[in-house]
Amino acid sequence: MNQKPAVLVTGASTGIGAVYADRFARRGHDIVLVARNTTRMAALAERLRIETGVNVDVVQADLTDGQDLARIEQRLREDQRIGVLVNNAGMSLPRGFLQQKGEDISRLIGLNVTAVTRLAHAAAQRFAERGEGAIINVASVVGLAPEMGATVYGATKAFVLFLSQGLNVELASKGVHVQAVLPAATRTEIWEHTGVDVNTLKGVMEVDDLVDAALVGFDRGELVTIPPLPDAGQWSTLDTARQAMLPNFSQSQPAERYRRAA
């Protein structure tokens, strides 16, 4: 029996999720692949079994479907082998906010926010009871940059960052490691779905490089890992400034600047 915890990876048929599955398999972890595309997952599973010798389960699921999402939640709650959740599945939308359709926005939020939260919740309960486990949430630098224009997508990724920070506050003392990974432009199929030719973009990171860097941050126990950011001090400065405001939020009266007419 494999003594290392199994790793459940969502969005595992291609891109970032597939590379996470590959890297954890090469570390000797059994893998549970979750995605919609069974054919791609089957091919990946077969390769990983041959190349690494680990056990690989393939679970077809559309995480925007309530029944499918509930099945994966149940797997996380009941499968005692699983000790790492890679919350990677996500989507984006083409065009700007004014051109997007309401039903598409709802589906985006369903995958990027609702599914991520519910799967983290299902995993966290068991991990906390056991006193160990890890949750990796794939967010995005877009969640820090409304100027990039992907309004709803960026808002969902800002949520994932906040969720990860909040989970860390609640779970770190219980032995659960939470990591938020914030990629910038990465060479994945998400660009095709939004009608953008990735080859026209500058500064696009290869998926292998992204995941390898993210795993360096994971091994170091980082809460927030931003693979493209050269100066870690910039994130530290931002986070320190945020924390410096916290004592000023507890006030019985509005700040003086709001107690006089403009």
Q: What is the pLDDT of residue 204?
A: 86
| Separation CA 188–CA 129 (nearest Å) | 36
3-state SS class at 1: coil
Sites in the chain below the pLDDT cut of 70: 1, 191-197, 262
Quick check: is 20 catalytic? Answer: no
Closest among 84, 191, 183 to 127, alpha carbons compared: 84
Q: What is the pLDDT of residue 239?
A: 97
Q: What is the pLDDT of residue 194?
A: 66
Q: What is the pLDDT of residue 95?
A: 86
Q: What is the pLDDT of residue 33?
A: 98
**C-beta atoms surrounding 186 within 10 Å:** 21
Strand 224-225 with 6-10, pairing: unpaired
Q: What is the pLDDT of residue 2?
A: 72
Judged by phi (left if over 0) then psi (alpha if -120 to 50, else beta), residue 78 lies in alpha
Query: Cβ distance 24 to 7 under 8 Å?
Result: yes
Query: Cβ distance 204 to 185 under 8 Å?
Result: yes
Query: Cβ distance 148 to 162 under 8 Å?
Result: no
Q: What is the pLDDT of residue 38?
A: 97
Q: What is the pLDDT of residue 195?
A: 62
List 153, 159, 191, 218, catalytic entry: 153
Q: What is the pLDDT of residue 196?
A: 67
Q: Which domains does the chain have, with CATH numbers?
A: 6-230 (3.40.50.720)
Q: What is the pLDDT of residue 94?
A: 87
